[in-house]
Structure 1
Amino acid sequence: MSGEGERLAELAKRRGYFFGASGAYGGAAGFYTFGPQGAALKSNVEDAWRDRFTVREGNFEIEAPTIMPEPVFEASGHLDGFDDMLVECPDCGESHRADHLIEDNTSIEDAESLPVADVEDLLGDHGIRCPNCGGDLAEEAVTQFNLMFETTIGPGSSTPGYLRPETAQGIFVEFPRIKEYARNSLPFGVTQIGRAYRNEISPRKSIVRTREFTQAELEQFVDPERDDPDLDRVADVEVTLYPVTEQEADGGAYVETTIGAAVEEGIVGDAWIGYFLGIAQEWYEGVGVDTDRFRFRQHLPGERAHYAADCWDAESEVDGDWIEVAGFAYRGDYDLSKHAEYGDDDFTVFREFEEPRTVERAVVEPDMSVLGPEYGSEAADVAAALEELADRNPAAFDGDEVQVTVGGETRTVDSDVANFRIEERTVNGEHITPHVIEPSFGVDRTVYTLLAHAYREDEVGDETRTYLSLSPTVAPTDVGVFPLVSNVPELVDRAEGVVDDLRRAGFSVTYDDSGSIGRRYRRQDEVGTPFCVTVDRDGLEGDGPDTVTVRERDSARQVRLPIESLSTELEAVMDGDTSFDGLVAAYDAVTADTDA
C-alpha cells in the first residue's frame, strides 16, 4: 500500500473509520472493525442502496442465515469450483495468491482468468519471488484452494455446514416460498444485504480484500421470452465501458457512450444488464463516487463463469489500481435448475398461455399387480422411472419391452404392463424456470472508494487542511454544533438546545466544545461532516430572532441563519432542493475569520 492508500489508512484509523480487528491479540489478517465513523458511513451506504435497489424498484428484501448446510453448496457448485490459485514459498512457508503475484509483477491484468498451468509458467518466466522473504517460486506448484469456511451444525460433526461465500444462495434456496409472495408472477426481484465469508489466501489493500465483508445483492427473476426492462428510464445515462473487444485489441480504449446506444449497438448484449448498469451508474454518482475514476469492464471469456451469458464489473480507481466494486451477471436458469435438481421443492413458475392449447402427452399407468410381486419394495421406484422415461423418451416404449435403471440396476418391464399411451389434452400454460440477472455490490469496497475519492487537501488560513468531501447522502454525521467559546453558559445552553432540535428533526449531530473553533472545524472536516453550526454572542444579542453561523465544509464559507429556520434550510440543502449558494444569496454571509 502506498501514496493515497497509506494516507487513507492512517486517517481511517485515527478518525474511527476502520482498523484491523482484535489488535490486543495481535490481530488476524483479513478482518476489520468499523469504528463509529465507518459504521455510520457503511450504514448510510446500505440505506442508500436499499432505497434505490429495493424500495424504488419495488423489490422484496429478505435476510437469510449466514450458515447453510453442505447440500446447498453442493448444488450451487461452490464445493467443487469456488477456488483460488495458491502457491506456497518453499523457504518461509508463506502462502500467496499466484495470480495476484503475476498481476503485481507484470503487465498482465487478469491472471485470474488463466489456466493453472499458464500461471505456473508465468511465475518462472518472470522470475517472481516470494514478497515475504524473497524465495524463488519458479518451480513451485500452483494448487486450487477452496475459499469457504467450514463448520458443523449442532453437536459433533455429523451435519457439516459452511459460512456463505455470497448472499445469493439464500435467495435462490428460498425461491419456492418467495415466489408465493410475488403471486407467482414474473418479473420480480429479491434483495439482501448481509455478511459473507471467504477464506482469502492473501488478504490485502485494507478493506478491499478481506475474509469477512458485506454484500448487497439483487436477484432479478424474469421470463426470458416475455420480460424486458424499461430501458427508456436509463437510455440517456452516460457510461464509460471497457468491453472485451477493446481489452483484447492493441491500444484498446474505453467506449464513452450511453446505455441506450450500448444496448442498441450490442456492446452490452442484454437489455437487463444494460438497465442495471444505468441504475448503478446513477447510484454511484449519487453517493459520491468520482465518475472520472469509474468504469464498467466486461469479463474476459476466461473470467466468466460457465453459466453466465454475460458479466460486467463496476470498477473504481484507487491509488493507480482498478478495484472491482460490483458485478452484473446474466446467470440464466443455472441456479434455480441446480437447486431443483438437488432440493425437494418446486423452483418453477407457471406461465399462462394467451389461449389454451391442445398438446400430446405421453402417459404410463404401470400395472402394480404385476410390478409388486416381481420387484417388491422397488416396485414404486420402477413405476416412477417408467413415468420419467415416458416424458423424456416416448420412443423407448415402441418395442415389446422397456428398460429402466433403478438403484444402479437395469429393470425390464413388458410394454403392456407399463400401459404406455399418447393422450391429447388441453392445457392453459406451462411451468418454466425463471432466468436470473444479478447485480452484486461490495459494500466495504464502496466505502473504501468513497473515502479515497473524497480525500482532499487544501490551504485554509495559511494552514494545510485535510478533509473528506463526502456526499451528504452518506456522510457519517450531518452537522457539527459548537458554542464559539465553552466558558459562557448562555452559549453552551443555546448550542445544546440546537443539538436537541436538529436531532428531533432527524439529523445526525455531534457536539464539540473542546479547543479552538478552528481545531473543531478541522476535526469535522477530516471526518467529512458537511456542515458546522456555531452559536456566538452576535447571534443572540441582536434585536431580531436568534441566529447561528452555518459553515459549509468544502468551501469553508459561512452564512448566518435564524435558528428557527435552521433545520428546514439544512434539510433543503441536503435533499438537493437548494444549494449553499442559495443560502448565501438569501441570508447574510459571514466574512469574519473564525477558522483560525
Structure 2
Amino acid sequence: MPAEGASESEAIAELAKRRGFFFGAAGAYGGVGGFYTYGPQGASLKRNVEDAWRERFAVQEGNLEIDGPTVMPEPVFEASGHLDGFDDMLVECPECGESHRADHLIEDSTGIEEAESLPIPEVEELIAEHDLACPNCGAPLAGEPVEEFNLMFDTTIGPGSSTPGYLRPETAQGIFVEFPRLKEYARNRLPFGVTQIGRAYRNEISPRKSLVRTREFTQAELEQFIDPERDEPDLSTVADREVELYPASEQVDDDGKILQTTIGEAVEAGVIGSAWVGYFLGVADEWYESVGVDMDRFRFRQHLSGERAHYAADCWDAEAEVDGDWIEIAGFAYRGDYDLSKHAEHANDDFTVFQQYDEPKVVERAVVDPDMSVLGPEFGGAAAGVADALQELAERDPEAFDGEEVTVEVGDSEYSVPTAVADFRIEEQTESGKHVTPHVVEPSFGVDRTVYTLVAHAMREDEVDGETRTYLDLSPTVAPTDVGVFPLVSNVDDLTDRARELASQLRNAGFTVVYDDSGSIGRRYRRQDEVGTPFCVTVDRDGLEGDGPESVTVRERDSAAQARVPVDALVAVLVDLRAGTRAFDDVLDEYDRVATEA
C-alpha cells in the first residue's frame, strides 16, 4: 500500500532503491535506460523465485535443465525467424529525435488496448487521429512514418566481422538448437521437457516501468516436446483449478468479460484449445499463488491473432495488475513443430525422434529408383539433387508420375525426367516405427516481472503499538531473508554473544539469517518487516536465565505476535514455519505467547 499521494509504482521504486531490491544501473555515469542492478535484498528474492520455479517446473515435472550461451551465430536466428520477424513499431520525433514505441503511445493516450496487434498503417492513422505528441518534447507525431525495428543486439564473434552473432532474445533457441543431443539424454522418448533459466536481451525502443520493460532480463523457460498424435498431459491434476480467463473472443466483444471457470471446463469447451497449454496454465496458477502473487489481481489473457509471435499457433499470457495496469509476467505458447522444422531445414542434423510402434506395421510406400546412368550424363552435378527431388515428390504426390514425364524443382531450376527413367513404383514395406518432428509447448516466465509483481502485491501498511508500520507480506518461499536474529539489548555481552551463536547455528541449518544489534529492538523489527523477513528470533535475559530450558522469542512478521520457544526446538519450528507445514497460530498454541514490544 503506497504512502498517501504516491502511486504504487512510485512506492515500489522508492522502497526498492532505499532497501536494496533493485535500482537503475551505472548511476555514477548517468545511468542507461533498460538496465537494472539487483541489490542484496533483490538478488536474494530473485534467486529464491528462480529456485522455486526450478523446483516446480524442472524437478517436480521430471524435466532436464541446461545452461546455454547468451551469444549465438547469425544462422540460428535466420532459421528461427528472428531476423525477419522480431520487430516492434518505432516512430521518431521530428524535433528532438527521440524514438518511441508507436503502439505504447497509442495505449497510453487512448482507450485502445493491445495496439501491438494492429497493422502499421492503422497505427499511423491512430497517431494522426488522436493528435499524439512526443512525450519528450511535445512535438506532433502525426504524419511521421512508423517503421519496424528489430529488437536483437548484434555483435561479432571473434576478431573482425566475419562471423556475425546476436545476443539471444529468448533462452528457447538455445534449447532448440541442441535438440539433436538433448533427445539422446531423454533416451529418444517423448514426451520430455527441457528447462533453462538465464539472461536474454532485447534492444527495446523505449524501456519503461522499472523492471517491467528492460533491455536485459531473466527468463525461466520450459520447452515441452510432444508427439501431437500420442501424448496427452495428466490434466486431472489441475482440472479442478479455478482460473480467470480473458479469451480473444471476449476481448473483441463490446460486452466481453473475464470468464471464471476451471481448467478442465475450459479445455473441454475449447476455450483453451490445447490440453497441454491448459495443463501448464493450471500448474502456473498454483505456482504463482504459492510464491505470493495476489490472485485477485491475476488472470490469463489469450493473444489476439495480430499480436501472436510468428512461431505461435496459440498463446496465453499470465497477467498481474500493478498500479492499475495489467502486465504480462509469463507466456504459454503452442509452437507446433515450427522451431524444430526450421532448424532441420537450415542445420546439418536430425531434429526428429524415432517413435517405436508397439508392433511392426506393413505399409505401402511410393518409391523411385532412378537410372543414374541416364540422369548423370543428362544433368551433371544436379543429378543427385534431381534423384532426391523425385523421391520427395513420390512421397508427396504419387499421381505426378502418371504421365510420360515428371518435372521436379532443384533450387531455382526445373528438370523433366521420363517416368520410365524415374522407375516409380508402390512397394509394401515393414516398419518398426516412424520419425516424428515433435511439437513444442512453451511456458515462458519473466523472472524480473515476477519479482516486481511480488513486491507490489506484498506491500502492506497497518498499525502496531499505536504506530504506522509498512511491511512486505512476502511468502517465506521467496523472502530474501528467512530469519532475523537479535539480542534484546545490544550492549550486553552475554546476549550478543548468544545471539551471534544462534545466528551461526541457523545458517548451518540452511537458513538465510541477518544479525542486527543496531538501534532499539522496535527499529530492528521494522527494518526486517519492510524487507519481508517472515520471522525474527530475539535473545533476552528471561530466556537465558529462566527456570526452564534455554529459550528465545520467535516473532511472526504479519501479526507481530511472539512466542517463547525452547532453543532445542527452534530449528524444527522454523523449518515447519518456512515450509508452511505449521502455522504460527499452532506455535502460539503450543508455546507461551509473549507480550513485548512488537
* Class of the TM-score when normalised by the shorter of the 2 chains: over 0.9
Q: Give me the whole-angstrom Cα distance separating, in 2, the residues matched to 1:160 and 1:49.
A: 34
Secondary structure at the counterpart of residue 124 of structure 1:
helix
Given the alignment, which residue of 277, 292, 297 partners 2:301? 297
Alignment RMSD, CA only? 1.6
Number of residue pairs matched by the alignment: 594
Matched, 1:495 2:495: no
CA shift for structure 1 position 378: 3.5
Please list every run of 5 or more consecutive structure 1 residues that lacks an aligned counterpart in the other structure. none
Q: Alpha carbons of 1:267 and 1:396: their partners in 2 closer, same or farther (altered >3 Å)?
A: closer
Aligned to 2:396: 392
Return the offset for 1:463. Answer: 2.1
Q: Note the residue ranges of structure 2 that are not aligned, 5 or more in a row.
A: none
1:87 equivalenced with 2:91 (yes/no): yes
- For 2:382 and 2:251, the matched residues in 1 are separated by 58
Which residues of 2 match residues 339-350 of structure 1 at below 5 A? Answer: 339-350=343-354
Partner Cα distance (2:548, 2:303) in 1: 63
Cross-structure match for 1:69: 73
Q: Which residue of 1 aligns with 2:589?
A: 585
Deviation digits for residues 202-236 of structure 1 (CA, Å, limit 9, x no counterpart):
00000110000000111111111111111110111
In the alignment, the residues of structure 2 paired with residue 305 and residue 470 of structure 1 have an alpha-carbon distance, to the nearest angstrom, of: 33
Partner residue, 2:415:
411
Pairwise CA distance, 1:103 = 0.5
Q: How does 1:24-423 map to 2 (within 5 A)?
A: 24-305=28-309, 307-423=311-427
Q: Give per-residue Cα distances to partners, 1:232-287, cap 9 Å, x unaligned.
A: 10111111111122222223221111111222222222211111111001000000
CA distance in 1: counterparts of 2:468 and 2:355, whole angstroms: 65
Code of the aligned partner of 1:244: A
1:537-571: CA deviation from partner (whole Å, max 9, x where unpaired): 11111122111111111111111111111111011
Amino acid at match of 2:486: F
Q: Distance in 2 between matches of 1:98 and 1:187?
A: 41
State the shift of 1:405 in Å.
3.4
**Pair 1:237–1:489, CA change in 2 (3 A):** same
Residue by residue, what CA displacement relative to the aligned partner does 1:1-57 show, whole Å, maximum 9, x if unpaired? 960100110110111100011111111100000111101000000000000011101
1:555 and 2:536 matched: no
What is the SS of the residue equivalent to 1:329? Answer: strand
Q: In 1, are the aligned partners of 2:85 and 2:310 still within 8 Å (CA)? A: no
Identity, in percent, stands at 74
Q: Do 2:354 and 2:433's aligned partners in 1 also have CA atoms closer than 8 Å?
A: yes
Q: Give the AA of the match of 1:218.
A: L
- How far apart are residue 403 of structure 1 and its match? 3.5
Residue identity opposite 1:296 in structure 2: F
**What letter matches 1:237 in structure 2?**
R
TM normalised by structure 2 equals: 0.96
Is the deviation greater in 278-287 or in 383-392? 383-392
For the Cα contact (< 8 Å) 2:21–2:42, is it kept in 1? Answer: yes
Q: In the aligned structure 1, how far is the partner of 2:316 from the partner of 2:372? A: 55
Shifted more, 467-476 versus 65-74: the winner is 65-74
Deviation of residue 527 (structure 1)? 0.7
Q: Distance in 2 between matches of 1:307 and 1:574?
A: 41
In structure 1, what residue type is equivalent to 2:468? T
Q: Secondary structure at the match of 1:519?
A: helix
> Separation in 1 of the partners of 2:143 and 2:305?
28
Q: 1:217 is aligned with what amino acid?
A: E
Please identify, of 195-204 and 299-308, the stretch whose mean Cα deviation from structure 2 is larger.
Answer: 299-308
**Aligned partners of 1:472 and 1:463: how far apart in 2?**
25
Between the aligned partners of 2:357 and 2:541, the Cα distance in structure 1 is 76
Q: In structure 1, how many angstroms separate the alpha carbons of the residues matched to 2:377 and 2:299? A: 69
SS in 1 for 2:415: strand
Any idea what SS the aligned residue of 2:356 has?
Answer: strand
Q: Deviations over 1:144-183 (max 9, x none)?
A: 1000001111111111111111111111111111111112
Say whether 1:481 aligns with 2:485: yes
Deviation at 1:326, TM superposition (A): 0.5
Match of 1:504 in 2: 508
What SS does the aligned partner of 2:389 have? helix
Cα deviation code 1:508-549 (max 9, x no counterpart): 000011111111111111111001111111111112211111
Task: For residues 470-493 of structure 1, give each alpha carbon's deviation from its aligned partner in whole angstroms, at most 9, with x where no partner exists.
Answer: 000000000000111221110111
Match of 2:526 among 522, 525, 533: 522
Q: What secondary structure is seen at the aligned counterpart in 1 of 2:306? A: coil
What amino acid sits opposite 1:393 in the alignment? Answer: D
2:26 to 17, 22, 27: 22
**Secondary structure at 2:182's aligned position in 1?**
helix
Partner of 1:533: 537
**Matched ranges for 1:417-456 at <5 A:** 417-456=421-460
- 1:182 and 1:211 mapped to 2: Cα distance? 34
Moved more, 281-290 or 408-417: 408-417
Q: Alpha carbons of 1:396 and 1:243: their partners in 2 closer, same or farther (altered >3 Å)?
A: closer
State the Cα distance separating 1:67 from its structure 2 match.
0.9
Q: Deviations over 1:560-584 (max 9, x none)?
A: 1111111110111111111111111
Letter in 2 for 1:591: A
Q: Match of 1:383, SS? A: helix
Distance in 1 (CA, whole Å) between partners of 2:241 and 2:41 is 32
Between stretches 294-303 and 446-455, larger displacement belongs to 294-303
For the Cα contact (< 8 Å) 2:244–2:258, is it kept in 1? yes
The offset of 1:83, in angstroms, is 0.4
